[in-house]
Amino acid sequence: MNQVLDIIKSRRSVRKYQDKQIKDEELEKILEAAIYAPTGHNDQPWHFTIIQNRDLINQINEGAKEVMKTMDVEWIANMGKAESLNIFHQAPTIIIVSGRKDATTPLVDCAAAVSNMLLAAESMDIGSCWIGLAKFYFLNGENMEEFGIPENYEVHFGVSLGYKVRKNPEALLRHKNVFNYVDVPSQNINKPNTKLQLGVIMDVIEKRIEETKVAYIPYSGSYELIPEHIQEVGQWVMEKGLEMTGRVYGTYFNSPEDVAEEDLQYEIGFSFAGDAVPEGKIGIKEVPEHTVLSAIHQGPYTEVGPVIHAVVDYAVANGYDIVGPVTEVYLNDPAEVPESELLTDVQFPVMKIK
C-alpha cells in the first residue's frame, strides 16, 4: 500500500462541513505542507492568511459575491446573485493564498501550495475545497490591507477546511486518453485506452450509490432534446446557488424498443446539497442509498443500447433482480469532449437473489 497515492486518489472537494473547528495542530500541519511545495527559482513567493472568525468569513463571502455580480462571465455573475450560496461552503476555517507579484511563477507556486494543503488535509481526514472565487473580494486594495496581506502581493486562491459530515464519494471518472508514450520500453506501464475504447464497456460491477438529494424534471417525448433538458435543470440548480454534487443523470421509465417516440417517459436531474423546494416543473426528492450494477459506455449517447443489454444479461447470469428503471449518469460534458469520448455510467438498481 502506498499512502500518498491512496490520499491523492481519495481526496475530493468537500462542500459541507461540521460546525466544529479543526484543531490547531492539524491546521499547523496543513500550513507546513503548503510551504514545502516546489516553487520556481525557489522563490517561495507566497503568503497565507488564516481566518476562523465566522463574521469575517461571511464578510469576504458577501463582498466577493457583490463583485462577482458585476462580472461579464455569465456563470460567475449568476453565482454572485445566488442568495443562498456561500462561496466557502460554511467552512469554519479558510486560508487566503496570495503570491508576490514580481516573483518568477507566483500563480503556479500558489497552486502547488494549495494542492499540498488539500492533500495534507485529506491525510488527516479533514475536508477541504479549493476556492477560486475568493479572489474577487481582494481585487480591492483596501480589503487586502484590512486582512493584512502584504503590499505587492495578489490574492490567487482560497482554501476552505473543516471536518467532513460524510465520507468522500468516489472520485469523478478521469479522462484516460491524456498520455502519449515516446520510446518507453517498459511493458509495465499501462498504455492509454487499453480499457476505454470507443463503444467498449468496462467490466460490469456492483456498487453502492450514496443517498443524495436531486432536482429533476419529468419529460415525455423524443430523446433528441435531452442535452437541452440537462441545461434547463442545471441552470435552475445554479441559479438557486445550490451546491452541485456531481451526479447528472437521466432515468428512463420505458424504451424506444417498446413504445413510440412521443410516449417515451424519462426524467433528467442533478444531485445537489443544500435546501430547495419544488418550483414549477422542477421536482425535489431524496434518492436513498441503493445498490446498482454499473458499466461504463464510451461513445455517443445514442449508442448506449448494447451496454444496457450487457448489464441486464449480467444481472440475469449472476443472480440479481433488477428492481427499478435504468439510470444513465453522464460523466462528462458534451460541450467539452467529442462524441467519441462521452462517458455514460449505465446503472440498474438491483437486489442479489441467489
Ligand X SMILES: Cc1cc2nc3c(=O)[nH]c(=O)nc-3n(C[C@H](O)[C@H](O)[C@H](O)COP(=O)(O)O)c2cc1C
130 touches ligand X (CB under 6 A): yes
| Partner residues linked to 223 by β-bridges | none
How far apart are the C-alpha atoms of 99 and 110, rounded to whole Å? 6
Question: In the complex with ligand X, which residue's Cβ is closer, 173 or 310?
Answer: 173
Question: In the complex with ligand X, which residue's Cβ is closer, 110 or 307?
Answer: 110
7, 10, 13, 322: which one contacts ligand X (CB under 6 A)? 13
27, 67, 126, 129: which one contacts ligand X (CB under 6 A)? 129
Closest CA to 48 of 123, 159, 151, 161: 159
135 touches ligand X (CB under 6 A): no
* Residue 242: CB minimum distance to ligand X, A: 12
The closest residue (CB) to ligand X is 132
What is the x/- site pattern for ligand X, positions 155-174, by CB under 6 A?
A: ----------------xx--
* Residue 118: CB minimum distance to ligand X, A: 8
Residues in CB range of 303: below 8 A, 6 or more apart: 199, 297
**Range in contact with ligand X (rule: CB under 6 A) among 20-28, 41-49, 125-133, 227-235:** 125-133
204 touches ligand X (CB under 6 A): no
Torsion over CA of 197, 203, 204 and 206, rounded to 10 degrees? Answer: -130
Question: What cell does 44 get?
Answer: 517561495
67 touches ligand X (CB under 6 A): no
58, 62, 132, 191: which one contacts ligand X (CB under 6 A)? 132
27, 133, 307, 343: which one contacts ligand X (CB under 6 A)? 133
Angle of helix 106-123 relative to helix 3-10, nearest 10 degrees?
100
- Helices marked H in the chain — which ranges? 3-10, 24-35, 54-69, 74-81, 106-123, 141-146, 226-239, 305-317
141 touches ligand X (CB under 6 A): no
Question: What cell does 27 get?
Answer: 491546521
* Residue 32: CB minimum distance to ligand X, A: 21
Count residues near ligand X (CB under 6 A). 10
Query: Strand order of the sheet with strand 126-131?
Result: 46-51, 93-100, 153-163, 126-131
**Percent of the chain as helix, strand, coil, to the nearest 5:** 35, 30, 40
Question: In the complex with ligand X, which residue's Cβ is closer, 131 or 242?
Answer: 131
Q: Which residues bind ligand X (CB under 6 A)?
A: 12-13, 15, 129-133, 171-172
